[in-house]
């Protein structure tokens, strides 16, 4: 799966997918064949972390 490379665009993309389509980050990554650690690392570079209870990066 091709995902945005820019962390800010990726943030919007992932949070939209989480809000509209997936119950959690793990399911999103499994279904889209993405490395969860890669997503978390890239978004942490712009000071965002995944909040499991809210199911989004904040």
Burial 22-31 (b: 16+ CB within 10 A, else e): beebeebbee
For residue 48, give the nearest of 1, 9, 19 by alpha carbon.
9
Q: What percent of the chain has pLDDT over 90?
A: 97
pLDDT per residue as tens digits for the range 36-53: 999 999 999 999 999 999
Mean pLDDT on 3-14: 97
| pLDDT score recorded for residue 1 | 73
Mean pLDDT on 2-8: 95
């Amino acid at each position: 799966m091709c995902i945005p490379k820019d962390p800010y665009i990726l943030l919007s993309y992932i949070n939209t997918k989480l809000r509209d389509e997936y119950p959690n980050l793990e399911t999103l990554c499994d279904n889209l064949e993405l490395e969860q650690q890669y997503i978390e690392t890239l978004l942490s570079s712009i000071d965002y972390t995944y909040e499991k209870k809210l199911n989004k990066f904040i």
